[in-house]
Chains A and B, each alone.
Chain A
Amino acid sequence: MADVVTVPQVQPVQPALRFLRVIPGVLLLAAIGYAGKLLEQNVGAYAKAHHWTFPNIEYVLWAIVLGLAISNTVGVPEIFRSGVATYEFWLKAGIVLLGARFLLGDILKLGGVSLVLVAVEILGSLAFMTFLGRLFKLKPKLTTLLAVGSAVCGVSAIIATKGAIEADDEDSSFSIAAILALGALALFTFPVIGHFLHLSDRAYGLWAGLGVDNTAEATAAGALYSDAAGKLAVLVKSTRNAMIGFVVLAYAIYWASKGQAQAVGNKAAFLWQKFPKFVLGFLLISVLATYHFFNKDQVGALANLSRWAFLLTFAGVGLRTNFKDMRKQGLRPFAVGAIGEVAIAVFTLGLVVGASKLFHW
């Protein structure tokens, strides 16, 4: 008689169950986002009625601050976590819908300028972060992850690169923590610096899109300044995101040539796999809007739907930022990230100010 071997069965999670599991967290995102919206409307009105001097705080900031307060005091209970993690989904859906507010001509005009600035930013940031990583004697693959995270698009770029160059889990969590912590910091410092320097909406939007690493934080940092700056920050950040495949491919080839990662077979398939599809969705909606597929009211409805999606995103940005967890990750990668980010912020500010003077913005 053959021996009976018991193999532990991994039960696949049913799609319906997976859907039910995200509902509490999505409701929490909606509740926090909506509370932020109500606070924006009512706190200002209350302060005005009582003749207090109180700055007008946008719903974006309220939603982030409420999320941060929950995450860093009581924490996010397990039941909400999978739903809170959907904030990336809402971000991408919101960006696609935002395409309705861009005419193709604007994208080509702004995208052309931003493409040049993005190329300069990516090359400059990659070179500088690599130099800093070597100076601080970080592990080479950790340096690669930090460089890609700060040059291209934060967490998604780190995750894409980690798989391609076969980096350690520890290295990627170091890099993700550093990028997230610095993104949270940028959220609060960029608008203050922008107002201090009296940057125009266009210059500030460009700067936020170029200088803030994670897409959610770049969107929020832009929206905190003004609606127009928020729109432009999303466009520039999406242009940066579109470069992800090329940068990851270059690093994958580099590490494979050193025998420390698998060689890339079909390069076109690799590029397609890494390409952020929401950029294509954004372009498709803007093409449809340009050719009047939607009437004026419908464009307004799409823009509002995009705002609701961003509202959930901003609540998620606050909820997933936990300063205690970030402190656990250690100081050195954070120091490299921080020095790099400050240098990149100054460098991109210089690029934007230069472009503003050149194009008379």
Chain B
Amino acid sequence: MGAEAKSVNNESRWKLSLDSWAVVVALLAALLIRAGVFKHVPW
């Protein structure tokens, strides 16, 4: 297997699904709110 193919394989192993990205972003937003970076989110 060539180095390029290996690197593509390694890359896809770490690629997150849309689902997982949504969880990561939502949890990050929750942590920022918890840390007081965003004190108020208007609606």
Contact = CB atoms under 8 A, between A and B. Distances in A.
Which 9 A-B residue pairs are closest in the complex by CB-CB distance? A92-B22, A281-B23, A96-B26, A304-B41, A301-B41, A304-B43, A277-B19, A93-B22, A93-B26
B40 A297 contact: yes
A304 B39 contact: no
B42 interface: yes
Contacts of B21: 89
9 contacts: A88-B18, A89-B22, A93-B29, A97-B26, A277-B22, A288-B30, A294-B30, A304-B41, A304-B43
A305 B33 contact: yes
B23 A96 contact: yes
Contacts of A93: 22-23, 25-26, 29
Interface residues of B, number: 20
A305 B23 contact: no
Majority secondary structure, A binding face: helix
A21 interface: no
B34 interface: yes
A81 to B, nearest CB: 16
Contacts of A92: 18-19, 22-23, 26
A301 B17 CA distance: 26
Interface of B: 17-23, 25-27, 29-30, 33-34, 38-43
Contact of A305 (B20, B34, B41): B41
B39 A301 contact: yes
A305 B40 CA distance: 10
Interface of A: 88-94, 96-97, 100, 276-278, 280-281, 284-285, 288, 293-294, 297-298, 300-302, 304-305, 307-308
Contacts of A288: 30
Contact of B27 (A94, A96, A307): A96
B33 A294 contact: yes
A304 B40 CA distance: 9
Nearest to A299: B33
B7 to A, nearest CB: 11
Contacts of A294: 30, 33-34
B34 A285 contact: no
A276 B29 CA distance: 20
A90 B30 CA distance: 15
Nearest to A280: B23
B29 A97 contact: yes
Given A93-B25, A297-B40, A308-B41, A302 B19 contact: no
A278 B43 contact: no
A307 B43 contact: yes
A288 B27 CA distance: 11
